[in-house]
Amino acid sequence: MEYCVVLLSICAGLVSGICWLVGSDPEVSEAIDFCRHYAELSLQLEDPTFMCSSRFEPVEVTVVASPWNFPLAIPVGGVAAALASGSTAVLKPAPPARRCAAELVRAFHDAGVPEEVLALAAVEDGEVSRRLVVHDGVGRVILTGSYDTARLFRSWRPDMRLLGETNGKNAMIVTPSADPDLAVRDVVASAFAHAGQKCSAASLLILVGSAGRSPRIARQLVEPILADHDFAGSETIVMVNGMGGTPLIELYLMYGEVKALLDAAGVRVARNL
Question: What pLDDT, in 10s, does the model give residues 20-78?
Answer: 445 567 788 888 999 999 999 999 988 888 888 788 889 999 999 999 888 889 999 99
Which pLDDT score is estimated for 6?
Answer: 45
Question: What pLDDT, in 10s, does the model give residues 127-150?
Answer: 999 999 999 999 999 999 888 999
Which pLDDT score is estimated for 251?
Answer: 39
**CA–CA distance, 260 with 268 (Å, rounded to integer):** 10
Question: What pLDDT, in 10s, does the model give residues 202-244?
Answer: 777 888 888 878 888 887 877 766 665 444 433 334 333 333 3
The residues annotated with a catalytic role in the active site are 165, 199
Give the Cα-Cα-Cα angle 20, 222, 267 (nearest 5 degrees).
95
Contact (Cβ atoms closer than 8 angstroms) between residue 104 and residue 10:
no
**CA–CA distance, 107 with 71 (Å, rounded to integer):** 14
Q: Backbone phi, then psi, for 90, in 5-degree steps?
A: -120, 115
Work out the pLDDT band at 258, boundaries 50, 70, 90. Answer: low
Name the region of 244 (left: φ>0; alpha: ψ -120 to 50; beta: rest): left
* pLDDT(8) > 50: yes
